[in-house]
Amino acid sequence: MGDRNDLGGNTVRLILLGGPGAGKSTQAKRLSQTLNIPWISTGDELRAEIVAHTQLGEQVKPAIEQGELVKDETMIGLIRQWLQTTDAASGWLLDGYPRTAFQAEELNFLLDELGQTLDWAIWLEAPEDILRERSQARSRLDDQPEAVQRRIKLLYERTVPILDYYDYRQKLLSVDGNQTPERVEQDIKAALQTKRSI
């Protein structure tokens, strides 16, 4: 699979879901390169705003550092802005959004408004102990043990219910994230290929 045409279309629009440490960034980077689509990492974007001491950065810093979710209205505004950029017109990969069923619904409304359609929401499954272990091995500013534990708690409370939302719409692909990055990537590509050929 050398380019996005291998998946049977000119545009591919994907969401990558999973807990902290599930491997979203690793797989997003690989898929972005393979499919030749921009990777929009909400976490990376927000952390960059914090480091740059922008008004947005100061606004979201407390929530990010405590492992809380950034306000819905702030996030949907940012997603709207990012999805309207020129390079996102040929497809995109969203990592870190949506985080709640409300956000999933808001994204759906936004895509309708922009005349875009989501292809798949990819769920990277990984046990809680693996999420905690991987997160604590990183050195990000928001990976303090308390914040990691809070994000894992929010994952099960707020994000896991999104799976039903996308499953009902036949948009959900579940992949075992507790494997080597290479194997996870292979499984994602195989799932996408299979779904595209149905």
For the chain, the structural domain boundaries read 4-197
d(CA 78, CA 10): 25
Q: Is 166 helix (H, G, I), strand (E, B) or coil?
A: helix
**Average predicted confidence (pLDDT) for the chain:** 89
Q: What is the mean pLDDT of the segment spanning 32-45?
A: 91
d(CA 124, CA 23): 7
**Entry pTM:** 0.86
Question: What is the band of 89 on the pLDDT scale with cuts at 50, 70, 90?
Answer: confident
d(CA 122, CA 143): 23
Q: Is 41 helix (H, G, I), strand (E, B) or coil?
A: strand
Smallest CA-to-CA distance from 90 within 7, 29, 18 is with 7
CATH superfamily for 4-197 is P-loop containing nucleotide triphosphate hydrolases (3.40.50.300)
pLDDT score recorded for residue 3: 40
Lowest-pLDDT choice from 107-111, 119-123, 131-135, 177-181: 131-135
d(CA 38, CA 13): 10
Q: In what order do the strands lie in the sheet with 39-41?
A: 39-41, 91-95, 12-18, 120-125, 172-176
pLDDT score recorded for residue 10: 56
pLDDT score recorded for residue 9: 52
Whether 178 and 23 have beta carbons less than 8 Å apart is answered as: no
d(CA 108, CA 122): 16
d(CA 89, CA 79): 13
d(CA 5, CA 24): 23
pLDDT score recorded for residue 166: 97
Whether 120 and 173 have beta carbons less than 8 Å apart is answered as: yes
pLDDT tens per residue across span 10-31: 589 999 999 999 999 999 999 9
Polymer length in residues for the chain: 198
Token pair 């604590």 in the structure block, residue: 136
pLDDT score recorded for residue 44: 87
Judged against a pLDDT cut of 90, whether residue 148 lies above it is answered with no
